[in-house]
Chain A
C-alpha cells in the first residue's frame, strides 16, 4: 500500500517539471534536427522537405566558413590564454602568503556576475575610437590616428577575444582554486623540503594533481566559447564590420531569425552542435592521463 502511494506521489512531483522540460527544451532541440531537413521560408506554411540540401549549400557558403574560422580562432586563443591566467592566479591565491587575497578573489570574479550586455557596453567604452579607455591610454605613448578596435577587420576578432578572456578568467580561477585547495598541505611541505621551487612545484605537483579538474574545464571552454562569443558579438558588433566578426551561432541566428531562413539556420545549428560534440570528445580523448593517486 505504501509502495503505491509513493509511486503516485513521485509521479505528481516529477510530472510538471518533466512536461515543461520536454516542451521547452527537448522538443525544440529535436526540432532543430527536423527543421534542418526542410526549406522553410516563413511560419508554419510552405515547408518543403529537401533532405540534406541545406547542408550541401552550407559547405559552399563562404560566410559560414568565415564564421567557422572566427569561432575556431576564438576557441583556441581564449582557451589557451584563460587557462594560463586562471591557473596562475589560482595557484598564487591558494599557495602564496600575501595580504589582500580575498580582495583579489572577489574582484576577479566580478565579470562573472555581469550581464553579457553590460560587458559589451563596458567594452564599447573601452574600445571607443575617440574617447575610449584604451585609445586614451595608448595616446600617451603613440601619435597618429586612433586605432579602430571594433572597426578594423583584422583586429576585431582579437578585440572580442580579449572581452571573452576578461569575462572568463575569474570563473575558471575559482574552479581551479577548489581543486588546488583540496591537495593536502603535506605534499607541498615535502616538496619544499626537497628544495623544489615555485615553478617546479607548479608544473610537477599542482598541474598533475588537478589534471582531471583541468580536463573537465576544457569541455566547458569549447561549449561556452561558442555560446559566449555569440552573445558578445550580437550585443557588441552585430557581426560587423561587414561580417568580419561573425561567429557560428550569430550566423545561425541571423539566418534563422533575422533572415527567416529557418531551415538553413537550423542546419547551421546542427553542424555547430555536432562540431562542438566531436571537438569535446577529441579533446577528452587526447588529454586522457592515468589519474594520480595520493
Chain B
C-alpha cells in the first residue's frame, strides 16, 4: 500500500492520538524507573526539597551504606549463589528428563508427562507454607537445623518448582528434532548417555538459553519462598533485603539507602534485558501459547 494521497484530517488525528497513547504508556513506565535511579543518588537533605530536582551530585554514599550497613552486599552474594545453584540443579534435572519424556519409549511415560503438565497449575504461593512445614518436620526428624536457612535447599526448591514449565518448554523443542541424528550416533556405537550429551544438548542450545533466561529472572526476583525459608539474617536474598529496607525507610526516613538498594536489585535484570530483549520476548511466546 503506497500512500499516494496526502493523509486526511481524520487520519492525521488518529495517528496523533495513537502517538499520544504510546508516549503516555512509555512515560508512565520510564518516568518512575528513572526517578528511583535519580533518587538513589540524592543526599538526605535533597529529599526534603523539590522532588523533581535533579540530584546535585553523584552521592554514591547511599550505595556504600546499602551495600555495607544494610548488608545488601552479603545479600547480593547470597542471591548470586542461590540463583546459580538453582539454574545448575534445574538444567541437570530437566534436560535428561525432558529428553527421555519426549524421545524415549518406556512404561508410564504418558502418566508422568501428565503429572508434570498438572504441575503447571500448582502455584508456588499456595504450597510455600506446606513446603516450610515439611522442612521443619525434617529438621525435627533428623534432629538437625539443616533444612531451614540453607541456600542449597532454597536452590533445590526453586529448581523443583520450575521443573514443570522447563520440561514443557524443552520437550516441545526436543520433539521437533529429527530422529536421524540419534540413529546415526547409535550406528556409530555411541551409547544413550553420550548421545544425549554430545548430540542432543548442543542441538537444544537455543531452548536451553530461553530456559536459563526465564529462570534467571524468576529465581533472582523471587521473594515469597525466600522470605519463608530464610529467616536468619545472614542467609537472606536481595529482594528480601529490599523489603527490609522498605520497612526501615518508613521508620527512619532512610530514603537514599532504600533507593540504592532498589537499584542494586533491579540493575542486573535491566542490563540482561537490554542485552537479550529480543530473545526474551520471542521465547515467551513459545513458552506461553502457541497459535
Contact = CB atoms under 8 A, between A and B. Distances in A.
Interface of B: 1, 14-15, 18-19, 21-22, 25-26, 28-33, 35-36, 39, 47-48, 51-52, 92-94, 96-97, 99-101, 104-107, 109, 112, 115-116, 119, 121-123, 125-134, 136-137, 140, 156-157, 159-161, 163-164, 167, 192-193, 196, 217, 220-224, 228, 239-240, 242-243, 246, 258-259, 262, 265-266, 269-270, 272-273, 277, 280-281, 284-285, 288-289, 291
Contacts of B29: 107-108, 110-111, 166, 170
Given A14-B112, A18-B112, A115 B220 contact: yes
Top 3 A-B pairs ranked by shortest CB distance?
A115-B221, A13-B96, A28-B130
A165 to B, nearest CB: 10
A227 interface: yes
A32 B192 contact: no
Contacts of B105: 3, 6, 10
Interface of A: 3, 5-7, 9-14, 16-18, 20-21, 23-29, 31-32, 35, 43-44, 85, 88-89, 92, 96, 98, 103-111, 113-118, 120-126, 131-133, 136, 166, 169-171, 174-175, 178-179, 182, 189, 192, 198, 212-213, 216-217, 223, 226-227, 230-231, 234-235, 249, 252-253, 256-257, 262, 265-266, 269, 272-273
Q: Which of A17, A88, A182 has the most CB of B within 10 A?
A: A17
Contacts of B221: 113-118
Given A121-B246, A136-B51, 17 more contacts: A7-B107, A9-B100, A10-B106, A14-B100, A21-B160, A24-B131, A25-B164, A31-B134, A43-B133, A43-B137, A110-B273, A115-B220, A115-B222, A115-B223, A116-B223, A133-B51, A253-B129
B51 A10 contact: no
B288 A88 contact: no
B131 A20 contact: no
A169 B25 CA distance: 10
A189 B258 CA distance: 53
B35 A125 contact: yes
Contacts of B291: 179, 182, 212-213
Contacts of A14: 96-97, 100-101, 106, 112
B129 A10 contact: no
A24 B137 contact: no
B156 A24 contact: yes
Contacts of B157: 24
B22 A125 contact: no
B289 A175 contact: yes
A213 B289 contact: yes
A118 B160 contact: no
A175 B285 contact: yes
A105 B221 CA distance: 22
B26 to A, nearest CB: 5
B66 to A, nearest CB: 12
B148 to A, nearest CB: 12
Given A25-B122, A25-B163, A125-B39, A85 B265 contact: no
B287 to A, nearest CB: 11
